[in-house]
Amino acid sequence: MKIVKHSGNIVDFKREKLRDSLLKSGASKSIVEDVISQIEKQLYEGISTKKIYKLAFGLLKKNANSHAARYNLRAAIQLLGPAGFFFEKYIAKLFQSEGYETLTNLSLQGKCVSHEVDVVVRKNNYLTMIECKFHAGRDAVSDVKVPMYILSRFNDLKSQRLAIFEEDNVLDNCFIITNNRFTADAIQFARCSNISLLSWDYPDNENLRDKIDRSQLYPVTCLTTLTLAEKDRLMNVGIILVKELLDDTDCLKSIDLSQNRVKNVIREASELCKYI
Range of the domain at 225: 219-274
Q: 147 lies in a domain? A: yes
Q: What is the pLDDT of residue 17?
A: 92
Q: 101 lies in a domain? A: yes
Q: What is the pLDDT of residue 276?
A: 40
pLDDT tens digits along 37-65: 999 999 999 999 999 999 999 999 999 99
Q: Tell me, yes or no, whether 190 and 223 share the same domain.
A: no
Do the beta carbons of residue 176 and residue 152 sit within 8 Å? no
Q: Tell me, yes or no, whether 96 and 16 share the same domain.
A: no
9-13 contacts at long range (C-beta below 8 A, 24 or more positions apart): 10/46, 13/43
Q: What is the pLDDT of residue 11?
A: 92
Q: Tell me, yes or no, whether 165 and 180 share the same domain.
A: yes
What residues are paired with 130 via a beta bridge?
119, 175
Do the beta carbons of residue 193 and residue 215 sit within 8 Å? no
pLDDT under 50: residue ranges of the chain: 276
At 243, which CATH number?
Answer: 1.10.150.20
Q: Tell me, yes or no, whether 95 and 203 share the same domain.
A: yes
For the chain, the straight-line distance linking the first and the last C-alpha, in angstroms and rounded, comes to: 34
Q: What is the pLDDT of residue 259?
A: 93
Q: 173 lies in a domain? A: yes
Q: 77 lies in a domain? A: no
Q: Tell me, yes or no, whether 158 and 91 share the same domain.
A: yes
Q: 53 lies in a domain? A: yes
Q: What is the pLDDT of residue 201?
A: 92
Average pLDDT, the chain: 93
Q: Tell me, yes or no, whether 204 and 236 share the same domain.
A: no
Q: 69 lies in a domain? A: no
Q: Tell me, yes or no, whether 136 and 189 share the same domain.
A: yes
Q: What is the pLDDT of residue 205?
A: 85
Report how many domains make up the chain. 3
pLDDT tens digits along 188-230: 999 999 999 999 999 998 999 999 988 889 999 999 999 999 9
Output the 3-class SS for 141-195: EECCHHHHHHHHHHHHHHCCCEEECCEEECCCEEEEEECCEECHHHHHHHHHCCC
Q: Is 126 helix (H, G, I), strand (E, B) or coil?
A: strand
